[in-house]
Amino acid sequence: MIVDTHAHIYCPDETTYPPIERPYRPPAGTGSPEHLQREMLAAGVDKVMMVQTTTFYGWDNSFVRDTAAVCQDWAAGVCTLNPDDPHSPDVLYALVQRSNVRALRTYASGPGRSYDHPGNRRLYDAAREVGIVINALLNVDAAGQLSRLLDDYPEQPVVLDHCLALSAGPKYDATVAAVLELARHPNLHAKLTFLPTGSAEEYPFRDMHGACRQFVDAYGPDRCIWGSGFPTELWCPKTTYTGHLHLLQEELGLSSAEQAAILGATAQRLYRL
């Protein structure tokens, strides 16, 4: 089984599911669940984690909630909740109990954009109670704060979204070092989605291969997962949905056992798919 752990979905009906003011909009004809299913079929992907995107819907999880609930045979949902809202833990309980939501995406928040923030700790408590995964979206500057939370919540499974947004440039070495240092936490998993987004080159993004190989070696394939960045037309314009998958299958020199874990088995276990 192949599992895509990172696909953003958008509804063409913006009356029923209205976007925020000035949303970051995908190109026309892309991003719908129907488009996602076509891409999955063409690439041979079996299941997907659908991530609610704040750049289009803000903190409103209605579309991913409703879609995940009716697509349980091939998809599950990842919600995004405002850590500054004291009611967010209650919303999380409802999403997990009533919809097919298996993970929560967390962000830095509050004054100074802190990740080790009281609101995030409330969400960590709630995620631990309902038994779902946390996806942590942050950059290298907040790596130490994430490390504290991982120490304080050692039984909580956490996924490092996009490996601290690794990209070519002045913070490349520091980011690689931080991702490798975080590997000491056995409850942390690496999401290997950064190759097309962080590379300064064209496909197959060879300037990111060394870091990706280091992360697989440090975390082990049983703590690494893959995600497409769907719709790639918006989030990964230098590749396609199938091309992003082929990076892991054909370009990185991964063994068949490593591919089996990274492309499916780890995500199946982690998200209970």
Each residue's pLDDT tens digit, 16-26: 999 999 999 99
Question: Mean pLDDT, the chain, as a whole number?
Answer: 96
Cα–Cα distance measured from residue 13 to residue 83, given in angstroms and rounded to the nearest whole number? 28
Place of tokens 């190989």: 213
Give the pLDDT confidence score for residue 243 in this predicted structure.
97
Q: Above pLDDT 70, what percent of the chain?
A: 99
| 122 pLDDT higher than 70 | yes
Q: Where do the H-state alpha helices sit in the chain?
A: 33-43, 54-57, 62-70, 88-98, 118-130, 143-152, 162-165, 172-182, 195-198, 209-219, 232-235, 241-246, 256-260, 266-271
Q: Are 194 and 162 in contact (CB under 8 A)?
A: yes
pLDDT in tens, 47-86: 999 999 999 999 999 999 999 999 999 999 999 999 999 9
Query: Tokens representing 53?
Result: 């995107």
Q: How confident is the model at residue 38 (pLDDT cuts 50, 70, 90)?
A: very high
Structure confidence at residue 232 (pLDDT) = 98
Sign of the dihedral through C-alpha 168, 171, 177, 180: negative
pLDDT value of residue 108: 87
Instruction: Choose the weakest-confidence range: 87-91, 113-117, 152-156, 252-256.
Output: 113-117
Other beta carbons within 10 angstroms of residue 265's beta carbon come to: 17
Model confidence band, residue 111 (pLDDT cutoffs 50, 70, 90): low
CB atoms within 10 A of CB 255: 9
| pLDDT on residue 113 | 77
Say yes or no to pLDDT of 124 above 90.
yes
DSSP 230: B
SS3 134: strand
pLDDT band at 110 (very low <50, low <70, confident <90, very high): low
pLDDT over 90 (residue 152): yes
d(CA 222, CA 200): 28
Cβ-proximal residues to 223 (8 Å cutoff; 6+ apart), any chain: 183, 186, 188, 189, 190, 266
What are the DSSP calls for 55-104, one per residue? HHHTT--HHHHHHHHH-TTTEEEEEE--TT-TTHHHHHHHHHHHS-EEEE
Going from the N-terminus, what domains does the chain have, and what CATH number goes with each? 3-271 (3.20.20.140)
| In contact, 105 and 132? CB cutoff 8 Å | no
Tell me the whole-structure pTM to 2 decimals: 0.96
